[in-house]
Amino acid sequence: MTKVSMTQFVSENIEESLMNMNTCLICRILEVDMNLYKADVLPLHDPDATPILDVPMAFWQTEQFVIQVPFKKGDKVLVVCSQADIDPLMFGGGKAASRSFSANDALIVGGVHYFTKPLQNEHPDDLLLSDKIYKNKIRITPTGEIFMESEENINIISKKDVNIKGENVWIN
């Protein structure tokens, strides 16, 4: 039997505990359900990783508004693992399990862009909704100007009036 010092024993146990704690992972989406805002993901840091199933997507939302990002199969995403069991929150009640930082409590918090594929963003200081080639976009500048730009049709649909007001209005 090999003798182990108390320091070595504690150190090895802490290291083993930390290795079993999930904080955040970069994953690839395997399947996605944009109706339930959940996806199956595969961690990319571990060649022996198993998929994490039914991971909820966090997104910007309030009681009245939502900003939806249409994740697709193959997208790289940042997944965080909650400090506590999220099942009671997600499913509306029940008793929380005592688990912490478990892959069972993973949440997709956003996409990840790799440095190996730089984007040619010509509007780095603007609030921007755009495709990745910046050909179709809505942007707001720091001075408050709003631009809608597209190489395709821009459709405005309303069951009521459409009002355009300004000091000068030009239509080409």
Neighbour-count burial of 41, counting CB atoms closer than 10 A to its CB (0-12 exposed, 13-18 middle, 19+ buried) = buried
Task: Give the rounded percent of residues in the chain with a pLDDT score beyond 70.
Answer: 82
Owning domain of residue 27: 20-111
Q: Are residues 78 and 127 in the same domain?
A: no
126 touches 141 (CB < 8 A): yes
Same domain, yes or no, for 124 and 95? no
Q: Do the Cβ atoms of 41 and 29 come closer than 8 Å?
A: yes
User: Do 106 and 26 have their domain in common?
Assistant: yes
Interval 39-88: pLDDT, tens: 999 999 888 889 999 999 988 888 888 888 889 999 999 998 877 666 66
Are 34 and 70 within one domain? yes
Is there a domain that residue 1 lies in?
no
Q: What residue type is assigned to position 32 of the chain?
A: V
Q: Does residue 131 sit in the same domain as residue 105?
A: no
**pLDDT tens, residue by residue, 102-132:** 777 788 888 888 888 888 888 889 999 988 8
Token pair of 80, please?
A: 């965080």
Same domain, 67 and 144: no
CB 108 within 8 A of CB 41: yes
Task: Look at residue 26 in the predicted model and tell me its pLDDT.
Answer: 93
